[in-house]
Amino acid sequence: MKKRTENILRKLVNVNTTNPPGNEMDVVKTILSFFPKGIDYEIIDHGNNRGSLLLEIKGKDEEKIGFMGHIDTVPVSDESSWIYPPFDGVVEDGYMYGRGTSDMKGGVTAMILTALYFIENNITPPHTLKFVFTADEESGGMGVQALRDKGDLKDISKVFIPEPTDEEIGTCEKGALWLNILVAGKSSHGSKPELGINAIEKLYEYIYRLRDTMDLDKSHPLLGKSSFAITLIKGGVKTNITPENAEASVDIRTIPGLDHNTILEDANIIGKSMEEENPGLSIDIQVENNRPPLTMDEEDRFIKEIVSAYEKLSYPVKFKGINFYTDASQLIPFHNIPFVLLGPGEENMCHQKNERIKLESIIRMTKFYISYIKNS
């Protein structure tokens, strides 16, 4: 199994699906090449050589268990500084190196191996299995949104998200709210700042007032605290000119209990208030990304089934919180179904130079997925 795992993962890594531009349709074709003809599948064409794939294996009943993994990766900005070329899939000491090995073509490989087990052994699973391979998770979530809006995911009764979780059981993930703030003031000579409206100063005032409305001290047992970071900023023309325009981006990561709608309401109230306080000032708030935090109760039946399957395999049971967002954030708020974030690979390898994954981790998680399905 190790050689087959290596071969599948290497072929996936060989296909460059860095986003942008994505080119996920190339890896969709690669995934289909692993399967025999006659399987039940649907390709969702997003245009511009971008695509998602839905593969279904009929079970003994109509209940449907989902596995969802993305097939795009983040870009490689420093290829020359990698130990091995990032798209070669070189193996050393049991690890495969390459962009996407951990995030998350390793998890996708485990999905493929799980599906092949039932197909090649002519085993009808207890429940129908849906394997969903999505485009664009690393950006806007085009793939999962298209499948969701088509209604292809609404019949899933529970879903695995095989992101790299160090093989720990992920029961929650932080939300992400990205705001772009554009401030228009009034320019003046630097020696007469009182005749202008300093857009940079008002931008900082706005950001700090918004941040002060949020409870950033509250802590979650698995996710820690929410965070608020200024990540981009631009403004000003010259040292002796009061800046007329300024803009910034803030990256807000939220734990369960911090409501995004409330944050956005406060953002608009503060903007209007500052405009009233400063005639001639204009503040425009744009939402770049809005993915709510998610959480599952450890006493939920689905989670308890996973714990039981882990114990049968003598895998260590440890719960985990995921600080980054996943495709689950584009699915669970619309279809309130039980979910788990659970896959091979190390979380701290995501988006890193010299990204790698232990092949044995993929094999271990494949064994778990198969065991869970057969005993569910």
Per-residue pLDDT tens over the stretch 278-336 = 999 999 999 999 999 999 999 999 999 999 999 999 999 999 999 999 999 999 999 99
Indicate the CATH number of 2-173+293-375 among 1.10.490.10, 3.40.630.10, 3.30.420.40, 3.10.310.10: 3.40.630.10
CA 208 to chain centre: 28
Region 187-208: what's the mean pLDDT? 97
Q: What is the pLDDT of residues 194-203, one digit of tens each?
A: 999 999 999 9
Residue type, 135: A
pLDDT digits (tens, 9 = 90+) for 217-252: 999 999 999 999 999 999 999 999 999 999 999 999
Instruction: Measure Cα distances from 145 to 117, 150, 332 in Å.
Output: 29, 8, 11
Beta bridge partners of 321: 172
Q: Please tell me the pTM assigned to this model.
A: 0.92
Return d(Cα 231, Cα 252) in angstroms, integer: 10
Read off the amino acid at residue 287: V
Instruction: Name the percent of the chain lying above pLDDT 90.
Output: 98
Q: Per-residue pLDDT tens for 249-284?
A: 999 999 999 999 999 999 999 999 999 999 999 999
Helix axes 359-375, 106-120, angle to 10 degrees: 50
Q: Per-residue DSSP letters for 90-117?
A: EEETTEEESTTIIIIIHHHHHHHHHHHH
* Structure tokens that stand for 251 in this block: 């990256």
- End-to-end CA, the chain: 24
Distance CA 192, CA 196 (A): 8
Considering only CA atoms, which of 136, 71, 142, 143 is closest in space to residue 107? Answer: 71
Question: One fold for both 2-173+293-375 and 175-291?
Answer: no
Answer yes or no: is pLDDT of 78 > 90: no
Separation CA 178–CA 206 (nearest Å):
15
Give the Cα separation of 345 and 362 in Å (integer).
7
CA-to-CA distance for 254 and 226, rounded, in angstroms? 5
Q: How far apart are CA 357 and CA 163, in angstroms?
A: 12
Tell me how long the chain is.
376
Confidence of residue 209 (pLDDT cuts 50, 70, 90): very high
The tens digit of pLDDT for each residue in 27-36 reads: 999 999 999 9
Average pLDDT score, the chain: 97
Q: Where are the domains of the chain?
A: 2-173+293-375, 175-291
Listed range (78-82, 129-133, 165-169) with the worst mean pLDDT: 78-82
Q: For domain 175-291, give the fold.
A: Alpha-Beta Plaits (3.30.70)
The owner of tokens 């072929």 is 11
pLDDT of residue 370: 98
**The pLDDT of residue 376 is above 90:** no
